[in-house]
Amino acid sequence: EIRAMIFDLDGVITDTAKYHYEAWKLLADELGLPFDREFNEQLKGIDRIASLEKILSQSPDGGQFVTREQKQEWADRKNANYQLLIERVDESELLPGIMDLFEDLLAAGIPIGLASASRNARTLLQQLKLVSRFDVIVDPSSVAQGKPAPDIFLKAAEELGVAPHYCVGVEDAEAGIQAIKRAGMFAVGVGDADILSTADYIVSETRQLSLERINSHFFK
Ligand code: G6P
Ligand code: MG
């Protein structure tokens, strides 16, 4: 049976994935690099510097001569863009259905973990008044490898004290689904079924997530 549920934040609990996109788009435009929504799919779930490197790989020389200091400066610039965009985020930006799911998990005694790659996650949870809902919030800087590596999901399971095969991971990103599967967990995808095809169960929107339905698919 399901003994823990571990969530991604951006694009699952709140629609901040659109703000990450906008913040990267501003930077890419400044640098004169191509960037669109399709390319952005590859960045979902990927940490800040790795995302920047993917964007720089689109430049004629593949970004191979950019210094570490320069990369840090551009990554900081993107983060400044992002922080301006999320400044006013509050509970009204919770995706429909997520609170009902959290209620059902609480009632069922299933603990909740957060496995977000974002260093802004804790601030966002505070703005969304969700901090106390989580039994565990993994600090992304505490894990060796980002998604698609399983580290952050495994750390969440470990901190929750639940073996991975009793855990469900919920993600909107391809890299995130890969991380969940590599962790040996049941993967629930939220979004486009073509992009998230390796998930064990897929819904198109957060509002379609229900404990009952996830349960009925769990290692069926
Ligand atoms: C999440 C988002 C990514 C973002 C990453 C790091 O995984 O899906 O788009 O790049 O977090 O976020 P941060 O807020 O630390 O730059
Ligand atoms: Mg996400």
Provide the ipTM: 0.99
Quote the Cα angle for 66-69-74, to 5°.
75
Residues with CB under 5 Å of ion ligand 2 are: 8, 10-11, 172-173
Q: What is the mean pLDDT of the chain?
A: 97
- The Cα–Cα gap between 24 and 176 comes to 19
For residues 51-73, average pLDDT: 95
> Does 114 sit in the ligand 1 pocket, CB within 6 Å?
no
For residues 172-184, average pLDDT: 98
pLDDT at residue 219 tops 70: no
* pLDDT bracket for residue 120 (50, 70, 90): very high
Distance of CA 202 to the CA centre of its chain: 16
Give this prediction's pTM: 0.96
Tell me which ligand sits closest to the C-alpha of residue 79: 1
Tell me which ligand sits closest to the C-alpha of residue 174: 2
For residues 75-93, average pLDDT: 98
Active site residues: 8, 10
* pLDDT bracket for residue 220 (50, 70, 90): low
pLDDT at residue 214 tops 80: yes
> Does 51 sit in the ligand 1 pocket, CB within 6 Å?
yes
Tokens matching residue 127: 């703005």
Tokens matching residue 133: 């809902």
Tokens matching residue 24: 């990267």
